[in-house]
Chain A
Amino acid sequence: MDNKLLNIISNSNKDIDNQKLMDYLSGKLSAEEKYEIEKQMADSDFVNDAVEGLEDVKNKKDLSLFVEQLNTTLQKQLDKKKKRKKKRALKDQPWLYFAIILLLLLSIISYIVIKKSLENEKHIPSNLPRIEQK
Chain B
Amino acid sequence: MQKLNHIDDKELLNRFYSDHNNDWLGELLPRYTLLLFGVCMKYLKNEEDAKDSVQQIFLKAINELHKYKVDYFKSWIYMIAKNHCLMKLRDKGKYSLEITERMSATVDSTEDKNVLIEKDNTLNEMQAALKQLNHEQAQCITLFYLQKRSYTEVAEKTGLSMMQVKSNIQNGKRNLKLLLEKKINHGQ
Interface residues of A (CB under 8 A from B): 1-2, 4-11, 13, 15-16, 18, 21-22, 31, 34-35, 38, 41-42, 44-54, 56-57, 62-63, 66-67, 69-71, 73-75, 77-79, 81-82
Contacts and interface: CB of A to CB of B under 8 A. Distances in A.
A54 B35 CA distance: 8
A15 B38 contact: no
Nearest to B25: A78
Contacts of A1: 146
Contacts of A52: 38, 42
A22 B37 CA distance: 12
B150 A38 contact: yes
Given A21-B34, A53-B38, A7 B78 contact: no
Q: Chain B interface mostly helix, strand, loop or mixed?
A: helix
Given A9-B113, A9-B180, A34 B150 contact: yes
Q: Chain A interface mostly helix, strand, loop or mixed?
A: helix
B160 interface: no
Interface of B: 8-9, 21-23, 25-26, 29-31, 33-43, 45, 47, 50-51, 54-55, 58-59, 62, 74-75, 78, 82, 108-110, 113-114, 116-117, 122-123, 126-127, 130, 141, 144-146, 148-151, 166, 169-170, 173, 176-177, 180
B26 A10 contact: no
B62 A4 contact: no
Given A70-B54, A82-B23, 6 more contacts: A5-B130, A5-B146, A11-B110, A15-B8, A35-B150, A67-B37
A71 B33 contact: yes
B64 to A, nearest CB: 13
